[in-house]
Amino acid sequence: MRDVEFPEVPRPDEQARRQAVARQESLTKPVGSLGRLEELGVWIAACQGTCPTRPFARPRLVVFAADHGVAANGVSAYPPEVTAQMVTNLLTGGAAANVAAANAGVGVRVADIAVDADTPGPIAGHKVRRGSGVIGREDALTEAEVVAAVQAGRTIADEEVDGGADLLVVGDMGIANTTVAATLAAALTGIEPVAAVGRGSGVDDRGWMRKTTSIRDALRRGRPVAHDPLNLLRVSGGADVAALTGFLAQAAVRRTPVVLDGLLTGVAALLAEDLAPGAARWWVAGHRSAEPAHDAVLRQLGKEPLVDLGLRLGEGTGALAALPLLTLAGRALGEMATYEEAGVSGPVIAPPPLPGAVRD
């Protein structure tokens, strides 16, 4: 397969990180008393390359939409046509992601990567194909379609960053996409199908058994190429996962932090880290999905999610639910007064360092 190359991913700014660690120790609170909010504030400063931090000016949610041929196996509680219907719902503001985005002050973009229907021109500008192959008995994509989908994701990331986005949130929409995601998660982490499969859209026991069988069959074809991200996407993925992979890698190349959502975005993150080593430093896990394979994905990414609410919807809803915590972390570091500024006496005992802090 034609290689897809990304330039070397820059590291978040080390000087800003050190300044943020020092500032956390000077703020009017016991060091460490804000827990993970302090670590997140340091991460934001390093990503922004400045301390004190700036409030996020233009956070953006991008929802990648696609259909998957494996839906024909009866692995979802909903028929395949719901993908296109939900795209319309997202565009008209009626989806859960729209409500969560409004709550978090985030703009919404929907990208039709492989919806098996005609969608409005503006969202279909990077469409690769309609649907995908039925993984388990045929490849999901051709080699050319994998490359086109990864490039579509890269282009979308560039468009958002060039448009002023300083924080990106990723989401997904597509009937049967948790079957594809669980297959990829099992291939990448080594877990067995029965440990990877979840209820997804709310399938009953018979649907769960069909889903497990579909993942098992798809893994027989996918595991031999699990070491090769692009070939794994071709055999067992989908255009949306490939586009998400390119998007996440390019966001890191462009020094733009990303909040990951659930299982599908998690497996795309694993693939993106393989293609662009170091990209994971620019991402934070928004939540822990109720999909069982997500735990294995988070462990392999080395990410501890911000919230665990039992969500399994997708669309970016889990990431958006966590976003106010990330916003608070940045604002606490940037806007709290220091002991000197407030005229408050500091600690008389030297505080312990923040986790991962480097002392000069």
Q: Which residues are the active-site residues?
A: 315
The answer to whether residues 280 and 273 touch, using CB atoms and an 8 Å cutoff, is yes
Q: Which two tokens stand for residue 1?
A: 């397969």
Question: Crossing angle, helix 229-236 and helix 263-275, to 10 degrees?
Answer: 150
| Short-list 239, 300, 258, 296, CA closest to 115 | 239
Can you tell me whether residue 103 is helix, strand or coil? Answer: helix
142 phi and psi, to 5 degrees? -85, 170
DSSP codes, 263-298: HHHHHHHHHHHHHSTTGGGGEEE-B--SSTHHHHHH
How many CB atoms are closer than 10 A to CB 307? 17
**Contact residues for 81 (Cβ-Cβ < 8 A; gap 6+):** 117
Contacts 24+ apart (CB under 8 A), 349-355: 351/25, 351/30, 351/31, 351/32, 352/31, 352/32, 353/21, 354/21, 354/24, 354/25, 354/31, 354/32, 354/38, 354/39, 354/42, 355/39
The answer to whether residues 60 and 257 touch, using CB atoms and an 8 Å cutoff, is no
Any alpha helices (H) in 2-119, and if so which ranges?
Answer: 14-26, 36-48, 82-91, 96-104
